[in-house]
Amino acid sequence: MKLFAVAAFALTTITSFTSTAETLWSDTSATLLQGNHYEVGDNKRTVFTFEHVAGYSWGDSFLFVDRLHSSNGDKETYAEISPRFQISSYKNDFIENIYIATTAEIGDGFTHYLVGLGTKFKIPNFTYFNFNIYHRNNDSARNNQQITLSWELPIGPLIYDGFLDHVIANGDDTSNTNFTSQLKYNIGEHLNLKTKLFVGVEYAYWLNKFGIDGVDEKNLNLLVKYHF
């Protein structure tokens, strides 16, 4: 129930903010992940993820809520809300639009706030390739900086998408890099579904996870993702 409560709150926040704005596009999905090589806590976990992404007349937004169930009985909820506000429609052959980029990272007992600048890179064959650079206002550690990339690349009948977060060391924690991507195939069209149903894998390579020196996660998950 907590997963749905957080998801409902996040959606209500975005919806109330955008009630007077034009929605250009949107997508909502639910994902089930199963992996056995998690670090920091139990190795085996099942993760339920709710995602919503949309483009508006003022910019774009992305939010997700993870509900993690570990094989030892531990449970955890984690969410991120990331609206970007367009401040320039500048375009050239390489970039498109400039944004004020913001994120709230909400976990069990902490909330971090990120603010910075973002843009879209125009790279051939990619559906999108986003770049953000943030100043992190951390709840329980010194503030620092973060660079985030996200992308989607069609490869024949497959979709390859993901993100890369690189967080700078801050004196309390070492620098860490989280490179997580998914390779998936839409089986919905073979089942005569009107929406997309993906199956595939997610691979996470997280160097110095949570800023803990020497804790490196290399984690392959089985994936099922349904788009509403």
- pLDDT mean across residues, the chain: 92
Find all residues with CB under 8 Å of 189, minimum gap 6, and list them.
none
Alpha carbon distance 70, 73 (integer Å): 5
User: b/e string for 30-69 if b means 16 or more Cβ within 10 A?
Assistant: ebebebeebbeeeeebebbbbbbbbbbebbbbbbbbbbbe
Q: pLDDT confidence of 1, banded at 50, 70, 90?
A: very low
Please give the tally of structural domains in the chain. 1
Alpha-carbon distance values, 169 to 1, 77, 206, 217 (Å): 36, 25, 15, 18
pTM of the model: 0.88
The whole-number pLDDT of residue 114 equals 98
The whole-number pLDDT of residue 15 equals 55
Q: Is 172 left (phi over 0), alpha (psi -120 to 50) or beta?
A: alpha
CB contact at 8 A, 132 and 122: no
* Residue 81 burial (10 A CB sphere; 0-12, 13-18, 19+): buried
Domain extent, residue 170, equals 2-227
Q: For 149-170, how does the pLDDT look when each residue is reduced to its tens digit (9 = 90+)?
A: 999 999 999 999 999 999 999 9
The whole-number pLDDT of residue 2 equals 47
The whole-number pLDDT of residue 171 equals 86
Comparing CA positions, the residue from 71, 198, 210 lying closest to residue 140 is: 210
Alpha carbon distance 102, 133 (integer Å): 10
Alpha-carbon distance values, 200 to 33, 105, 158, 182, 184 (Å): 10, 27, 9, 7, 4
Q: For 76-119, how does the pLDDT look when each residue is reduced to its tens digit (9 = 90+)?
A: 999 999 999 999 988 898 999 999 999 999 998 999 999 999 99
Locate 106 and state its tokens.
């909400």
With 80 as the cut, is the pLDDT of residue 49 above it?
Answer: yes
Question: What CATH number is associated with residue 179?
Answer: 2.40.230.20
The whole-number pLDDT of residue 91 equals 87
